């Protein structure tokens, strides 16, 4: 559950690291596992300046079928309108929401390895949230699309693909490192790297569908390749071995 002051009536700011850049974005919001309706009164996107700080010159409101707010029924998802918003590759975007009604059971991802900020009241366009409660957890965001000409390679795997063993706010999961390598080569700069975690059954029981846990950046046209991590197998010396397969 979110820390105090809770989601209802509070501002939630979350940071997403994207792989490819592009001129247009949209955000997916989820109430997939909610037991009641979710109301997002206002949502904005801006470039992150680190921690809870945003660049106010880049702050833009998101709309939903032209409206400033959206009500998401239990078990449903919502998508913002396409927004002309030029973003560079490998940048960090802050998505800030003012939550109206929030269900008792909240859709989220506890292994974000990214700090989220929660502060009571309306602070959607605040430059910083110095009094916010912090948590290494994502809530309500199911994805972020960067619409651009290009392709995508989806990474599928267990908790290592999700970032286990990487540092908080460092964006050094192996899919992040792959995205950096692709961006360093002019031949592959058009390739996005959305990530998906497919954990074992116990994770699905505890956290819901583990294939949809974390915000990702993707080319809206869809993926053309996938990389699947088949697990980390220990050897007698205690070293893990990763097995990857391309589909």
Quick one: pLDDT at residue 206? 37
| β-bridge pairing 195-197 and 151-157 | parallel
Quick one: pLDDT at residue 236? 39
Among the residue ranges 79-83, 162-166, 203-207, the one predicted with the least confidence is 203-207
Q: What is the mean pLDDT of residues 222-237?
A: 56
Quick one: pLDDT at residue 233? 44
User: CA-CA distance, 22 to 149, in Å (whole number)?
Assistant: 8
Quick one: pLDDT at residue 151? 85
Q: What is the mean pLDDT of residues 31-60?
A: 97
Quick one: pLDDT at residue 221? 41
Question: Is 220 a residue whose pLDDT tops 50?
Answer: no
User: CA-CA distance, 72 to 39, in Å (whole number)?
Assistant: 6
Among the residue ranges 10-14, 96-100, 229-233, the one predicted with the least confidence is 229-233
Structural tokens at position 91: 């940048």
User: CA-CA distance, 230 to 52, in Å (whole number)?
Assistant: 35
Quick one: pLDDT at residue 170? 85
- Residue-wise pLDDT tens digits, 107-116: 998 878 899 9
> CA distances (Å), 45 to each of 84, 109, 162, 203, in order?
11, 20, 24, 30
Quick one: pLDDT at residue 234? 43
């Amino acid at each position: 559950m979110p820390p105090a002051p809770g989601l209802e009536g509070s501002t939630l700011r979350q940071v997403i690291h994207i792989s490819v850049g592009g001129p247009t974005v949209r955000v997916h919001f989820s109430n997939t596992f909610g037991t009641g309706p979710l109301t997002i009164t206002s949502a904005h996107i801006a470039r992150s300046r680190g921690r809870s700080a945003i660049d106010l010159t880049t702050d833009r409101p998101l709309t939903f079928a032209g409206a400033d707010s959206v009500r998401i029924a239990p078990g449903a998802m919502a998508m913002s309108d396409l927004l002309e918003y030029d973003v560079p590759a490998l940048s960090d975007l802050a998505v800030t929401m003012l939550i109206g009604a929030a269900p008792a059971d909240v859709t989220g991802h506890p292994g974000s390895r990214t700090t989220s900020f929660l502060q009571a009241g309306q602070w959607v366009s605040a430059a910083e949230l110095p009094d916010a409660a912090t948590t290494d957890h994502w809530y309500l965001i199911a994805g972020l699309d960067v619409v651009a000409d290009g392709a995508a390679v989806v990474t599928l795997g267990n908790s290592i693909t999700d970032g286990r063993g990487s540092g908080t706010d460092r964006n050094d999961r192996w899919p992040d490192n792959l995205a950096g390598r692709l961006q360093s080569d002019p031949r592959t700069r058009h390739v996005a790297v959305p990530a998906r975690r497919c954990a074992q059954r116990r994770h699905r029981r505890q956290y819901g569908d583990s294939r949809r846990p974390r915000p990702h950046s993707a080319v809206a046209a869809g993926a053309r390749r996938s990389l699947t991590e088949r697990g980390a197998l220990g050897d007698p010396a205690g070293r893990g071995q990763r097995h990857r397969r391309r589909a």
